[in-house]
Amino acid sequence: MSTLLVTGGAGFVGSALVRQLIDETDSTVINVDSLTYAGSLESLADARHHPRHIFERVDVCNRRELDRLFRDHRPDAVVHLAAETHVDRSIAEPSPFIGTNVIGTSNILDAARAYWNDLESEARQTFRVLHVSTDEVYGDLGPEDPPFNEDTACAPNSPYAASKAAADHLVRAWHRTYGLPVLITRSCNNYGPWQVAEKLIPLMICNAVGGRPLPVYGTGGNIREWIHVDDHSRALRRVLEAGVPGRVYNIAGQAELTNLEVVKAICAILDGIAPRAAGSYAELVRFVSDRPGHDRRYAVDDGRIRSELGWQRQERFDETLAKTVRWYVDHPEWLQRVVAFTIARCAGE
């Protein structure tokens, strides 16, 4: 596929995918992002100025501009990553999540369908729309429950998860009703460099380095499965290359940990590479009131993507978490963005 249109390509997962596509393929990438607080052109690194990278500052809620993008760039496929993603924000203010995640996805589907309908036979047959979703649409699991599979019914528990589930249903309907060749992926929690400030791992690193408390919801016993963003990006590329239109593919990291275990692991790494003057970083942990409706556990079965498409994760959590912590310590300018974000949130901006 010579030309890919990637929405949300200046976000955390999107920028990792764009960097891979520029570094490892010959594809031209049309990077579509509205550059909200979660998007940064810095995260594109060397890909930002590459001749095969074309940036378009467009909001997916602007249907007219989406039509122009398809008309001007003639993509062979779409990877739809643009989304509002943070649960706490969705609880405080759900409306932007409905706008971007539901209306924006509807616009992408309609613009893609209009474009696809006018393609010649061969291009029409190979065209794809990959919608990137989340394991949170499935709801949560008990401690002994088996992981979610692709046939598990959606049962979202937060406004964010509900907006993503709604988008998933739209994608499925556009395939069933109009025949649009769509694919859906549902990944577990991502980590790695360039992640937005409010997410668990960069926030904990930033607070620890700054000597500030490390806030952990409840008792810290909520369990998440983790995958490195580069593994997730490789999975997206594999699904786009060989996935069966209409199917859902779960993407797992095979690393289930409680939030407290993740925070303590970060502290242990920091103790080794940037020790405090006195004591361990773990002494900064503070338990705070739990999030409303906090999901207990996420885990997904990725048997389909492994057996059908031959994808395998390459990154081990313990090794790449250490590299991730080191990256943030070595990039104080990005940590300053986290500090600025934290101050703004505390001021109610």
Asked whether residue 44 is domain-assigned, the answer is: yes
Asked whether residue 206 is domain-assigned, the answer is: no
User: What share of residues in the chain are helix, strand, coil (percent, to 5)?
Assistant: 50, 15, 35
Whether 347 shows a pLDDT value over 70: the answer reads no
Whether 291 shows a pLDDT value over 90: the answer reads no
* Average pLDDT of span 169-180: 98
Q: Which token pair is 160?
A: 């964010």
Enclosing H/E stretch for 288? strand 285-288
Asked whether residue 51 is domain-assigned, the answer is: yes
Asked whether residue 279 is domain-assigned, the answer is: no
Specify the pTM. Answer: 0.94
Q: Which residues are catalytic?
A: 135-136, 160
pLDDT bracket for residue 333 (50, 70, 90): confident
* Average pLDDT of span 123-143: 97
DSSP lists the bridge partners of residue 128 as 77
SS3 44: helix
CB-CB neighbours of 66 under 10 Å: 26
Whether 167 shows a pLDDT value over 80: the answer reads yes
Ordered strands of the 189-191 beta sheet: 189-191, 223-228, 256-258
Whether 72 shows a pLDDT value over 50: the answer reads yes
pLDDT value, residue 198: 78
CB-CB neighbours of 137 under 10 Å: 26
Asked whether residue 261 is domain-assigned, the answer is: no
Ordered strands of the 53-56 beta sheet: 53-56, 28-32, 3-7, 77-80, 128-134, 182-187, 248-251
Angle at 87 between CA 55 and CA 223, to 5 degrees: 115
CB-CB neighbours of 312 under 10 Å: 12
pLDDT in tens, 28-67: 999 999 998 788 899 999 999 999 999 999 999 999 999 9
pLDDT value, residue 346: 45
pLDDT bracket for residue 339 (50, 70, 90): low
Asked whether residue 200 is domain-assigned, the answer is: no
Q: How far apart are the C-alpha atoms of 295 and 288, rounded to whole Å?
A: 16
pLDDT value, residue 348: 40
The total number of structural domains in the chain stands at 1
Q: How far apart are the C-alpha atoms of 300 and 189, rounded to whole Å?
A: 11
pLDDT in tens, 213-242: 999 999 999 999 999 999 999 999 999 999
Asked whether residue 273 is domain-assigned, the answer is: no
Asked whether residue 319 is domain-assigned, the answer is: no
* Average pLDDT of span 16-22: 98
Enclosing H/E stretch for 333? helix 332-346
pLDDT value, residue 225: 97
Whether 266 shows a pLDDT value over 70: the answer reads yes
The domain spanning residue 236 has which CATH number? 3.40.50.720
Its domain, for residue 240, covers 3-191+227-254+298-314
pLDDT bracket for residue 197 (50, 70, 90): confident
Residue with tokens 């010959």: 26
CB-count burial class (<10 Å; 0-12, 13-18, 19+) for 251: buried
